[in-house]
Amino acid sequence: MSSENTKQIHIVKELPVARERAFAAWTGPAHLRWFSNPNTPGDEPISVDARPGGFWRQRMLIDDKTDYVTGGVFKEVVAPKRLVFVWGAENGWPNLKDNLVAEVTFEELNSKPNATRMTFNMTLPDDWGDKDVNQCRCGWSETLARFVPAAWA
C-alpha cells in the first residue's frame, strides 16, 4: 500500500470498468457519493467544478461530533487520464490550507477489456507525526475501498 517513503500514500486499484467511467466517478457530482463516509446522509449536495482552479465540495459526517465539508481545488484535469487536486477540509482535518496534493491516474489495461488501473498518490507533510500519517493513510484506504464498488454501480 505505501512506498518506502513513510510520508507517501500510494494506492493502486484494478477496476473492471472503462477508464472513462472510473474518471467520471471522481468528477461527476452524481457519482461522488462513494467518497462520503457511510454516516453522511445520501441527499447531501455535492458540488464539482472539474477544471483547473475549480472546487469540489461535499459534507463528511463521521459521527455526532465530527461533521465538516471536505473536498479540494483541482490543479489539473486531463480526462480520462489524470486528476491532480489539493485536498482537505473546511473546519476539519487535515485542513485545506495544509496544501496536500493528490494525484490520481487512470490507465487502460490492454490485457483486459474494460479494465482500468487507478493509482492514487499523495505526499504528506514532513512535520506530520506517525499518528497523523497513519490516520490519513487509513482514511484514504477506507475511502478508496468504497470507490471500487461505486465505480461499476
DSSP string, 69-109: EEEEEEEEEETTTEEEEEEEEESSSSBGGG-EEEEEEEEE-
Which structural domain, as residue segments, surrounds residue 78?
8-151
Distance (Å, whole) CA 78 – CA 52: 10
Residue 5 predicted with pLDDT over 70: no
Q: Is the pTM of this model over 0.85?
A: yes
Residue 130 predicted with pLDDT over 80: yes
Q: Give the phi and the psi of residue 98 in degrees, each rounded to 5.
A: -70, -10
Residue 146 predicted with pLDDT over 80: yes
Render pLDDT for 52-69 as a digit per residue (tens, 0 to 9): 999 999 888 888 888 888
Is 115 domain-assigned?
A: yes
Distance (Å, whole) CA 105 – CA 153: 20
Residue 41 predicted with pLDDT over 80: no
Decide if 54 contacts 63 (C-beta within 8 A).
Answer: no
Cis peptide before 125 (omega within 30 of 0): no
Distance (Å, whole) CA 99 – CA 35: 19
Inter-axis angle of helices 19-27 and 130-151, to 10 degrees?
A: 120
Is 1 domain-assigned?
A: no
Cell of 93: 482535518
Is 3 domain-assigned?
A: no
Render pLDDT for 11-30 as a digit per residue (tens, 0 to 9): 999 999 999 999 999 998 88
Q: Would you call 15 helix, strand, or coil by DSSP? A: strand
Is 26 domain-assigned?
A: yes
Is 2 domain-assigned?
A: no
| Structural domain count of the chain | 1
Render pLDDT for 71-111 as a digit per residue (tens, 0 to 9): 999 999 999 999 999 999 887 888 888 899 999 999 999 88
Is 131 domain-assigned?
A: yes
Q: Give the phi and the psi of residue 26 in degrees, each rounded to 5.
A: -95, -25
Is 111 domain-assigned?
A: yes
CATH number at residue 44: 3.30.530.20
- Over range 123-146, report the average pLDDT: 92
Is 108 domain-assigned?
A: yes
